[in-house]
Amino acid sequence: MSSVTVRVPAKVNVQLSVGPLREDGFHDLVNVFHAVSIFDEVAAKESESITVAVTGDWADQVPVDDENLAIRAARALAKHAGRGYGADLVIRKAIPVAGGMAGGSADAAGALVACNELWGLGLPVEDLMEIAADLGSDVPFSLMGGTALGTGRGERLTELPTAGTFHWTFATAHGGLSTPRVYAECDRLRAAAMAEVPWPEPDADLVAALRAGDPHALGRRLSNDLQPAALTLRPALATTLEAGRRLGALGAIVSGSGPTCAFLAEDAAHATRLARAIPESAPTRTTTAAHGPTPGATIL
Ligand code: ATP
């Protein structure tokens, strides 16, 4: 095998409940991940060493050194296999960078699947999931795709059943938001409010809406504990969310740590209308209609 290409989806969190700050600086989460049809492609070619190049939208914002999550994933896999394998990785980037849609994690998952194939390792998905969990808490879900409940730091995953297809519109913003900064702002707001932070629990009504394929019920139950922090750091996002609501979105939410905003639509045509109309009254960079759930990292 001289070249392998893998397609990996972005995610939106339809529930993101953030527990109290732990002594180790992390939070226990209840995270319902949903993979959507905005894809990065990771191609791996035989080579002496491990390198990365990035093309497509957002390419200029992605590091091409050892900070790149795809390189770190390929290195971790080579180490696991116990050999000095090499690969030239090329990432075709469509998932917004630092947008709260797990783009870096997607590329890490793509690199794991591509290099496993390129190097003929034949590791089972369970092994890849373990390596993925060490790389970052969103990486296992990028491998798995579909819709899943994540607990712990988000890395312990249980698949959730869904019916049919949900239609979404995503509005990206100019400039990213750093995930650690958004968590820190969430902690700061909570400390200032001196409110008791409840233990995070899965929302039974949301899980039922997913199972029933009911976008109206899902739209009512979308929740994100990081949203107040993202809105404090980026007040203009409130205008974007409001624009979608006025246009009849069934639910409007900041995706993960933001600043991408996610809108649940009635159907594909409504998602397209939202994508056209939201920029007329809100400061967005791009808008895209997409659907979910989609499979995780897949060899093309
Ligand atoms: P999450 O939703 O998982 O919190 P995110 O979507 O907000 O993440 P990413 O797009 O994953 O954020 O990028 C976060 C940072 O990671 C970027 O600012 C970038 O410097 C770095 N990074 C490293 N590798 C990659 C990659 N392959 N693609 C995108 N960003 C990368």
* 3-state secondary structure at position 156: strand
The number of the ligand 1 atom at minimal distance from the alpha carbon of 58 is 29
Burial of 238 (0-12, 13-18, 19+ CB in 10 A): middle
Angle at 69 between CA 64 and CA 73, to 5 degrees: 120
Cβ of 138 below 6 Å from ligand 1 = yes
The number of the ligand 1 atom at minimal distance from the alpha carbon of 52 is 27
Which of 18, 42, 50, 62 for a ligand 1 pocket mutation test, highest count of atoms within 8 Å of Cβ?
Answer: 62
Give the start-to-end residue ranges of the domains of the chain. 3-160, 166-292
Which of 97, 142, 172 for a ligand 1 pocket mutation test, highest count of atoms within 8 Å of Cβ?
Answer: 97
- pTM (2 decimals)? 0.96
CB 297 within 8 A of CB 110: yes
Cβ of 105 below 6 Å from ligand 1 = yes
How many angstroms is it from 238 CA to the middle of ligand 1? 23
**The one catalytic residue among 40, 107, 138, 225:** 138
Question: Is 11 known to be catalytic?
Answer: yes
Cβ of 101 below 6 Å from ligand 1 = yes
Using N-to-C axis directions, what is the helix angle for 103-118 and 125-135, rounded to 10°?
140
Positions of the chain with pLDDT lower than 70, given as ranges: 1
Do the bridges between strand 27-46 and strand 156-159 make them parallel or antiparallel, or are there none, so unpaired?
Answer: unpaired
pLDDT of residue 1: 67
- pLDDT tens readout for residues 166-181: 999 999 999 999 999 9
- Residue bearing the CA closest to ligand 1, atom 14: 98
CATH fold for domain 3-160:
Ribosomal Protein S5; domain 2 (3.30.230)
CATH for the 166-292 domain, from 3.10.129.10, 3.20.20.370, 3.30.70.890, 1.10.340.30: 3.30.70.890
How many angstroms is it from 296 CA to the middle of ligand 1? 17
Strand-pair partners of 30 = 17
Question: Is 138 known to be catalytic?
Answer: yes
The number of the ligand 1 atom at minimal distance from the alpha carbon of 97 is 10
